[in-house]
Amino acid sequence: MKIKKSEVEHVAHLARLDISEALLEKFALQVGKILEYIDTLNEVNTDGIAGTSHAIFLTNAFREDNIKEHMQRDLALANAPEKEAGAFVVPKVVG
């Protein structure tokens, strides 16, 4: 097995996903298969090829430091389940 159930559980927790015991088994198996498939990439000889983080060969997209129009606040808050005094309301966070 490429990945342990406990690892799937850990990643699920980091993503705040609540996953049942049965699903954990299933995902461990599926994720394991994906990882196995990715292993085939390791068979390619990459000596002398620089690492890359992008599929396109572009660099340096900039914007100038000019202020643009802001969003209407009502619109910004439109999806908020709860709002108050122009702010998003969330359960108390330890400060």
Partner 1 sequence: MDFEAVIGLEVHAQLKTNTKIFCGCATAFGGAPNTHVCPVCLGMPGVLPVLNKQVVEFTLMMALAVDCRIARQSRFARKNYFYPDLPKGYQISQYELPIAERGRIEIEVNGTAKTVGITRIHMEEDAGKLNHEPGRPVSLVDFNRTGVPLMEIVSEPDMRSPEEAGAYLRKLRSILRYIGVCDGNMEEGSFRCDANVSLRPRGTTPFGTRTELKNLNSFKHVEKALHYEIRRQQAILEEGGEVVQETRLWNPDKNQTFSMRGKEDAHDYRYFPDPDLLPLVIDDEWIARVRNSLPELPDAKKARFEREYGLSAYDADVLTAAREVADYFEACLGEFNKPKVVANWIMGELTAHLNTENKSITASPITSASLAGLLKLMDTGVISGKIAKTVFEEMAATGKTAAAIVEEKGLVQVTDTTAIENLVDAVMAAAPAEVAAYRAGKKKLLGFFVGQVMKETRGKASPDIVNQLLKKKLEP
Rounded-to-integer distance, Cα 35 and Cα 12, Å: 17
Nearest to 12, CA basis, from 27, 2, 22, 1:
27
**Closer residue to partner 1 (CB): 21 or 69:** 69
**Closer residue to partner 1 (CB): 43 or 86:** 86
> Residue 22 Cβ, how far from partner 1 at the closest point, in Å?
25
Enumerate binding residues for partner 1 (CB under 8 A): 10, 14, 16, 53-54, 58-71, 73, 76-77, 82, 84-95
- H or E stretch covering 84: strand 83-84
At 83 the three-state DSSP class reads strand
> Residue 88 Cβ, how far from partner 1 at the closest point, in Å?
4
**Closer residue to partner 1 (CB): 9 or 22:** 9
